[in-house]
Chain A
Amino acid sequence: MTISRKAWQYSRSRLTQLSEQPASGVPVDVRVCGLHKRYGDVTAVDGVDLEVAKGEFFTMLGPSGSGKTTTLRMIAGFERPDAGTIELGGKDVSSLPPFDRDVNTVFQDYALFPHMTVQENVEYGLRVKKLPRAERRNRAKEVLRVVRLEEYGGRKPGQLSGGQRQRVALARAIVNTPRALLLDEPLGALDLKLRQELQIELKQVQQKLGMTFIYVTHDQEEALTMSDRIAVFNEGKIVQVGKPAEVYEHPASEFIAGFIGVSNVIERDGRRITVRPEKIRVLEDGALPDEGTRVEEGTVRDVQYVGPVTRYHVSLDQGGDLQILTQNLEETSTEVLALEGRRVRLAWRPEQESVIGEREGVPA
């Protein structure tokens, strides 16, 4: 077991190392080095480094006040960093104003010009670049088709629904074909169903255009659904970078484990480990666990029937609590609720757990 653990840890560290950088061979579109920003006594961004490859969907995920939006605003040029550099396509743009940077932003409140029509909003950036009228028309028409709003060019933003406004904001930004598109919680103001629809739509647009997206969100599900890579922010620092599956299944700290999903941390042999609730199996009475699996015994303290799944809270005999999530394939609610107070044996494979470091920064 110890051997396999070492082998796994080795492979895991290699895996993380690889995905912390964009895949080799692909040019880097956005590079941020040693970014710092303070507001009075508050340190908003405390040494952020990141590289985003061309065509990548890169998400900055973190709780409010973790520095993700400030980092995005510094890339856009709305805030000036106290220290550090920002490169776009290899060119240092740290001291350039927003209007001289080849990036465009989709704002959280959409920031559509209320006195202009949808068409005029979309053409704004092209008009600034003094493109001929016919070309402006064509390109605006084209992006409005991409966001499925070709019929709405003559309307004012006030006559559109939230989801439509969001798509106009997207069209207004992508029509300029920027080197990178910066999205600041673009779906934050929409209800859940619309948000899920637009997540898919945004991802499709991004893949179709092959455009670099830097996406800020505090919604972990959104980040996992859409991203090529995720950078998890906490207290002004990036605490982990990786592909969605890596960040989710192998969180580097208790904070990340808790922020992306349920923290599920127990202490064994002086080490703190975490395992995702859906990876834990409940063993049948008398069933023998597979070779090398971890087995823990405990008592079911609480059962929550949530329709498609059931959530169990189990107190372990060796100390600690774990949450377990099982799909309700065959079970009825009566059956699963009857498990409350019963003794159970839990099992999971060692590669499904993660050893985590420090305890600090646990979300409340």
Chain B
Amino acid sequence: MTSVAGIEPPPHRSVGRRLSAWLYRWPGVRLGALLAAPFSWIVVLYLGSLAVLLVSAFWQLDTFTGEVVHQPTLKNFQTIVEVPVYRTIALRTIAMAVAVTVACALLAFPIAYTMARLASKQMRRLLLVAILIPLWASYLVKVYSWRVILGEEGVLNWLLEPFGATGPGYSITGTWLVFTYLWLPYMILPLYAGLERIPSSLLEASSDLGARSGRTFFRVVLPLVFPALVVGSIFTFSLTLGDYITPEVVSSTQFIGNVIYDNVGVANNLPLAAAYAFVPISVMVVYLLLARRAGAFENL
């Protein structure tokens, strides 16, 4: 007993302390407590509602009563494949997403490169803020301001008038312009992060081994920044695929989103809308598989 005398008594064991000790002994419980809320959010609400949506694609609308008939059928899918206008709209939307992604990549690269490699610290911060500020503004505000810009009496036409030209107006080109404007930051930020991660010694080594800037870009910079480019393109591509407000506001052209919106809201044909939602989802799945095949996620 005397040998124990010198040791301090154990600290007062409060409930909190005992709980902590218990959780320490049961790491599985600790992990469960940590993940319970977010995990059930994702599974129940997010994936759950998605599942309901996809299941409803196999139901059918009774056009006479306007009621949804809960009987599995492939009729909705038959409609979107066979009716030419649905095919045209799907292809138009995909083409728009590609065009927006390419434009964003071409515009974003020089900006991201300047930020990551050339700009001073101060300049870099300034550019970063300049890119982030538009993200703080409401999406609707930005789209409607573009409506003003593109209008007949808008700023763009006023600017182009002295050169004898006119702006695209409310058209597909105008939509493309607005989409490119809206999603550009989502391309710049991943590209900037990707370019910043390339050590400058790699670019020097390429130059040292005799390569001019063009070869260094295609052989060293592009392959190394490719994963970041894919991340950015996933944003620009999927955001364009799903948007229905911008085409509505700055053009009179229909895109996938408009068709779904009209079927849900106006035509009250939820099953057809759900079936049409399969198009952008499967396009994204194919896109992600191709990106994975190209090795974009190897360093994730």
Instruction: Judge whether B21 is part of the interface by a CB distance below 8 angstroms.
Output: no
Instruction: Judge whether B51 is part of the interface by a CB distance below 8 angstroms.
Output: no
Nearest B residue (CB) for A128: B210
Q: Which residues of B contact A111 (CB under 8 A)?
A: 199, 201-202, 204-205
Residues B223 and A104 in contact, CB atoms below 8 Å apart: no
Q: Which residues of B contact A97 (CB under 8 A)?
A: 207
Q: Which residues of A contact B199 (CB under 8 A)?
A: 109, 111
Q: Which residues of A contact B211 (CB under 8 A)?
A: 99, 124, 128
Instruction: Judge whether A113 is part of the interface by a CB distance below 8 angstroms.
Output: yes
Mark B176-219 against chain A: 1 for CB-CB distance below 8 A, else 0: 00000000000000000000000101101111111110010001
Instruction: Judge whether B53 is part of the interface by a CB distance below 8 angstroms.
Output: no
Residues A172 and B209 in contact, CB atoms below 8 Å apart: yes
Known contacts: A99-B210, A176-B210. The answer to whether A128 contacts B215 by CB under 8 A is yes
Instruction: Judge whether A163 is part of the interface by a CB distance below 8 angstroms.
Output: no
Instruction: Judge whether B224 is part of the interface by a CB distance below 8 angstroms.
Output: yes
Instruction: Judge whether B284 is part of the interface by a CB distance below 8 angstroms.
Output: no
Nearest B residue (CB) for A97: B207
Nearest CB of A to B293, in Å: 16
Q: Which residues of B contact A114 (CB under 8 A)?
A: 224
CA separation between A109 and B201, bound complex, in Å?
A: 8
Nearest B residue (CB) for A175: B209
CA separation between A76 and B210, bound complex, in Å?
A: 11
Most chain-A CB neighbours within 10 Å: which of B205, B209, B220? B209
Known contacts: A111-B202, A111-B204. The answer to whether A125 contacts B223 by CB under 8 A is no
Instruction: Judge whether A8 is part of the interface by a CB distance below 8 angstroms.
Output: no
Q: Which residues of B contact A103 (CB under 8 A)?
A: 208
**Which residue from B201, B207, B220 sits with its C-beta under 8 Å from A99?**
B207
Most chain-B CB neighbours within 10 Å: which of A103, A114, A115, A129? A115
Mark A182-218 against chain B: 1 for CB-CB distance below 8 A, else 0: 0000000000000000000000000000000000000
Q: Which residues of A contact B206 (CB under 8 A)?
A: 113, 124
Q: Which residues of B contact A98 (CB under 8 A)?
A: 204, 207-208
Mark A86-115 against chain B: 1 for CB-CB distance below 8 A, else 0: 000000000001110001110111011111
Nearest CB of B to A5, in Å: 49
Q: Which residues of A contact B209 (CB under 8 A)?
A: 99, 104, 124-125, 128, 172, 176
CA separation between A331 and B220, bound complex, in Å?
A: 60
Residues A113 and B207 in contact, CB atoms below 8 Å apart: no
Q: Which residues of B contact A128 (CB under 8 A)?
A: 209-211, 215
Number of residues of chain B lying within 8 A (CB) of chain A: 17
Most chain-A CB neighbours within 10 Å: which of B205, B206, B207? B205
Within 8 A of B (CB), among A279-300: none
Nearest A residue (CB) for B210: A128
Nearest CB of B to A202, in Å: 18
CA separation between A98 and B205, bound complex, in Å?
A: 9
CA separation between A97 and B206, bound complex, in Å?
A: 12
Q: Which residues of A contact B205 (CB under 8 A)?
A: 105, 107, 111-113
CA separation between A103 and B212, bound complex, in Å?
A: 15
CA separation between A113 and B201, bound complex, in Å?
A: 10
Q: Which residues of A contact B219 (CB under 8 A)?
A: 113, 124
Nearest CB of B to A158, in Å: 10
CA separation between A171 and B220, bound complex, in Å?
A: 19
Q: Which residues of A contact B215 (CB under 8 A)?
A: 128
CA separation between A115 and B227, bound complex, in Å?
A: 12
Q: Which residues of B contact A99 (CB under 8 A)?
A: 207-212
**Which residue from B208, B210, B212, B220 sits with its C-beta under 8 Å from A113?**
B220
Nearest CB of B to A247, in Å: 29
CA separation between A109 and B204, bound complex, in Å?
A: 12
Q: Which residues of B contact A77 (CB under 8 A)?
A: 207-208
Residues B223 and A107 in contact, CB atoms below 8 Å apart: no
Within 8 A of B (CB), among A102-144: 103-105, 107-109, 111-115, 124-125, 128-129
CA separation between A99 and B208, bound complex, in Å?
A: 5
Q: Which residues of A contact B201 (CB under 8 A)?
A: 107-109, 111
Residues B208 and A76 in contact, CB atoms below 8 Å apart: yes
CA separation between A128 and B220, bound complex, in Å?
A: 13
Q: Which residues of B contact A104 (CB under 8 A)?
A: 208-209
Known contacts: A99-B211, A176-B209. The answer to whether A78 contacts B224 by CB under 8 A is no
Q: Which residues of A contact B202 (CB under 8 A)?
A: 111, 113
Q: Which residues of A contact B210 (CB under 8 A)?
A: 99, 125, 128-129, 176
Most chain-A CB neighbours within 10 Å: which of B201, B210, B223? B210
CA separation between A200 and B33, bound complex, in Å?
A: 58
Nearest A residue (CB) for B207: A98
Nearest A residue (CB) for B226: A115
Nearest A residue (CB) for B203: A111
CA separation between A108 and B202, bound complex, in Å?
A: 11
Nearest B residue (CB) for A169: B205
Q: Which residues of B contact A107 (CB under 8 A)?
A: 201, 204-205
Residues B208 and A105 in contact, CB atoms below 8 Å apart: yes
Nearest B residue (CB) for A172: B209
Q: Which residues of B contact A108 (CB under 8 A)?
A: 201
CA separation between A273 and B184, bound complex, in Å?
A: 69
Q: Which residues of B contact A129 (CB under 8 A)?
A: 210
A-B contact pairs, 24 of them (CB 8 A): A76-B204, A76-B208, A77-B207, A77-B208, A98-B207, A99-B207, A104-B208, A104-B209, A105-B205, A107-B204, A107-B205, A108-B201, A111-B201, A111-B202, A113-B202, A113-B205, A113-B206, A113-B220, A115-B223, A115-B224, A124-B219, A125-B210, A128-B215, A176-B210
Given A98-B207, A107-B201, A125-B210, 13 more pairs with CB closer than 8 A: A77-B208, A78-B204, A97-B207, A99-B211, A104-B209, A107-B204, A108-B201, A109-B199, A112-B205, A113-B205, A128-B210, A128-B215, A129-B210
Q: List chain B positions with a Cβ less than 8 A from chain A.
A: 199, 201-202, 204-212, 215, 219-220, 223-224
9 closest residue pairs by CB, A with B: A111-B201, A125-B209, A111-B205, A128-B210, A98-B207, A115-B223, A105-B208, A107-B201, A99-B210
